[in-house]
Amino acid sequence: MKTVMLGLATALLAMPAVAEQIVGQPAGNFRLTDMDGRNVALSDYKGKTVVLEWHNPGCPFVRKHYDSGNMQRTQAAAVAGGAVWLTINSGAPGKQGHLSLAEAKGQYARDGSKATRYLLDPKGVVGKGYGAKTTPHLYIVDPAGRLVYQGGIDDKATANPADVTGARNHVTAALAELKAGKPVSVAESRPYGCSVKYAES
């Protein structure tokens, strides 16, 4: 068992760093525990479009999108369109935003999240491997397993809920283009929000 866990840890640590997570290239696989204590791997959803959302419930930029309902609407539309939505919390124990399994379940319910799974990454291995910088930071993986989008949820880099109206939702737009068989027109944008609270940050 110890050897298996060591191998898994090594595999996760060997994931591409941010400089290697290139749009158009294969997305790094990972395995995390969800809020129900189940193991979930990106590879479980092979052949599906997957959205990854980095989350910190105390971040005002995250609250902008959840309190306005924008994130839940985006999640629901993605899932209704056949995508899988994985929300990931990479907050380290003792850091702002960190959640236990029970706390994650409570937060998911309070937010009315429509995500497929809420995953916990307390050691920050997956977050660092993907180069997740902010909460929120969004990634889209296409059915072929390629990273096709990374960046902010939209083009209004503020914490003001009023700015949701009139913003270009990059995630919704990218998913619509994928579904139509078109290339993603905005494949990268600047992520904005609170810094991910990794162990050393």
DSSP string of 60-72, one letter each residue:
HHHHHHHHTTHHH
Superfamily per CATH, domain 2-195 = Glutaredoxin (3.40.30.10)
pLDDT tens string, the chain, 201 residues long: the values are: 333 233 333 333 334 333 357 899 999 999 999 999 999 999 999 999 999 999 999 999 999 999 999 999 999 999 999 999 999 999 999 999 999 999 999 999 999 999 999 999 999 999 999 999 999 999 999 999 999 999 999 999 999 999 999 999 999 999 999 999 999 999 999 999 999 999 875
Instruction: Delimit the domains of the chain by residue range.
Output: 2-195
Global confidence as pTM: 0.89
Beta strands in the chain (DSSP E): 31-34, 39-41, 50-54, 84-89, 117-120, 134-135, 138-141, 147-151, 194-195
Q: What is the sign of the dihedral through the CA atoms of 118, 34, 194 and 128?
A: negative
